[in-house]
Amino acid sequence: MGRTPCCDKSGLKKGPWTAEEDLKLTNYIQVHGPGNWRTLPKNAGLQRCGKSCRLRWTNYLRPDIRRGRFSFEEEETIIQLHGILGNKWSAIAGQLPGRTDNEIKNYWNTHIRKRLLRNGIDPVTHAPRLDLLDLSSIISSTLCNQSLLNVSNLLGTQALLNPQLLSLANTLLSLKQENPEMLMQYLHQNQLNLDPSLQAPIASVCTTTSTVPCCTSMLSQTGLIQATGEGFFSSDKTNFSYPNSQENLTNLTNEFAAQPHYVQCSTNPTVPILSETSKFQSMDGSFDSVRSSAISSPTPLNSSSTFVNSSSTDDERESFSSLLKFEIPEGLDINDFM
DNA sequence: AAATTCCTCAACCGCACTGAC
DNA sequence: CGTCAGTGCGGTTGAGGAATT
């Protein structure tokens, strides 16, 4: 379909609405109801295009608009829904009565997005920005807090900056445990294509003595880690407190990836086993498949125990956003990394 | 106190979709 | 089937207020 020509721009007013215009529009809609936006401005005596009228009504004048600061519950819902739906602001707004897509979009871009970035979380993928994370803490979490490996030392500083190296480290560690000979063969086959600066640290993986705990193997087999910046998530189920949102969210959730299963590790981390359908969709550092479990997984986003009222400040909400979630793919070809 | 920078958010723009003809 | 009007949606802009220098 061809693009709809915008309404006749000649003589039409743009910019902020005046109180008089608001009154005209409100009065007209109260009498005739919304709709037929193209003819509405003329009938209402407004020098505006229908689009502008519709926007003004839906985003500002509608009586059921809920104005004011977003509550923590609303913010929580927005983040979780964004994890599933992405920038589907209207769909997200549908779960937040009284909030408009425009308002949610603005709030996301001006508040939530920035905070996620500050806390090292990619606001697009909801995955941690691994270029900012300390790889050793990730691996340590992977190993159920058994700090048997100092991966930072193993891989050098570059490892802290490259999510692909994280995957590589995982692959190598798994290979080392399960089949050292295959590991050596693997390295031999791929070493020619490695960045020389990475060869030494990677090789050290092969020579470092370590005992690989149970979770390492599980990690490599499942291909997924779920952790916070400071440790693993609790296994508490996500609980939406916003009215009517839970059922709707449940419905939404059912449309997405299968519910992951959870295995309790010795030191109380909860490690979900990703379904076999999970996939590593991007090699450029984005982990899109994380989205699929944003709701269904027992994320710690139910942090009502920490923040109990809607007047919490942005800073107060900071710690909530420090939660991290990411996947590590298995079976990555080393050639794809470099 | 003035100038500058930063931040917020209402409003606009343009594309996409749907249904009527 | 193609065209067009109506509408919805997401991305972007810019005015104005707040904060900082």
| In chain A, ranges of CATH 1.10.10 domains | 19-61
Which stretch of A142-151, A289-298, A325-334 has the lowest confidence by average pLDDT? A289-298
Q: Which nucleotide is closest to A54, CA to C1'?
A: C7
Q: Report residue A75's pLDDT band, with 50, 70 and 90 as the boundaries.
A: confident
Q: Which nucleotide is closest to A3, CA to C1'?
A: B15
Task: Note the CA–C1' distance, A88 to C9, in angstroms.
Answer: 8
Q: Output A320 or A54, whichever has higher pLDDT.
A: A54
How high is the pLDDT of residue A137?
A: 52
Q: Residues near A307 by Cβ (< 8 Å), separated by ≥ 6?
A: A72, A316, A317, A320
Q: Report residue A275's pLDDT band, with 50, 70 and 90 as the boundaries.
A: very low
Kindly state the DSSP code that residue A143 receives in the 8-state scheme.
T
Task: Note the CA–C1' distance, A314 to C10, in angstroms.
Answer: 26
- For residue A245, which of A99, A115, A123 has the smallest C-alpha distance? A99
Q: Report residue A221's pLDDT band, with 50, 70 and 90 as the boundaries.
A: very low
The winner for highest mean pLDDT among A78-82, A128-132, A133-137, A178-182 is A78-82
Task: Note the CA–C1' distance, A147 to C14, in angstroms.
Answer: 52
pLDDT average, residue stretch A64-93 = 85
> What percentage of chain A carries pLDDT values higher than 70?
35
How high is the pLDDT of residue A134?
A: 52
The CATH number, out of the four listed (1.20.1300, 1.10.10, 1.20.120, 1.25.40), of the domain defined by the range A19-61 = 1.10.10
Q: Which nucleotide is closest to A15, CA to C1'?
A: B11
Q: Which nucleotide is closest to A67, CA to C1'?
A: B9
Q: Report residue A124's pLDDT band, with 50, 70 and 90 as the boundaries.
A: confident
How far is the C-alpha of A45 from the C-alpha of A35, rounded, in Å? 16
Q: Report residue A74's pLDDT band, with 50, 70 and 90 as the boundaries.
A: confident
Q: Report residue A94's pLDDT band, with 50, 70 and 90 as the boundaries.
A: confident
- For residue A263, which of A294, A231, A225, A300 has the smallest C-alpha distance? A225
pLDDT at position A251 over 50:
no
How many Cβ atoms sit within 10 Å of the Cβ of residue A215?
22
pLDDT average, residue stretch A283-301 = 32
**What are the pLDDT digits (tens) for A139-192?**
445 444 443 333 333 333 333 334 444 444 444 444 444 444 444 454 444 443
Kindly state the DSSP code that residue A235 receives in the 8-state scheme.
-
Q: Report residue A51's pLDDT band, with 50, 70 and 90 as the boundaries.
A: confident
Q: Residues near A38 by Cβ (< 8 Å), separated by ≥ 6?
A: A7, A50
How many Cβ atoms sit within 10 Å of the Cβ of residue A5?
7
Strands annotated E in chain A = 224-225, 261-264, 270-273, 326-327
pLDDT average, residue stretch A300-322 = 37
Kindly report which amino acid residue has its CA closest to the C1' atom of nucleotide C9. A90
How high is the pLDDT of residue A102?
A: 87
Q: Is A298 helix (H, G, I), strand (E, B) or coil?
A: coil
Kindly report which amino acid residue has its CA closest to the C1' atom of nucleotide C2. A1
Q: Report residue A132's pLDDT band, with 50, 70 and 90 as the boundaries.
A: low
Q: Output A73 or A180, whichever has higher pLDDT.
A: A73
* Cβ atoms of residues A125 and A86 within 8 Å: no
pLDDT at position A65 over 80:
yes
How high is the pLDDT of residue A249?
A: 47
Task: Note the CA–C1' distance, A15 to C14, in angstroms.
Answer: 10
DSSP A50-106: HHHHHHHIIIII-TT---SPPPHHHHHHHHHHHHHHSS-HHHHHTTSTT--HHHHHH
DSSP A100-131: -HHHHHHHIIIIIHHHHHHTTB-TTT-SB-GG
- CB-contacted nucleotides of strand C (7 Å): 3-12, 15-16
pLDDT at position A97 over 60:
yes
Tokens matching residue A162: 């490259």
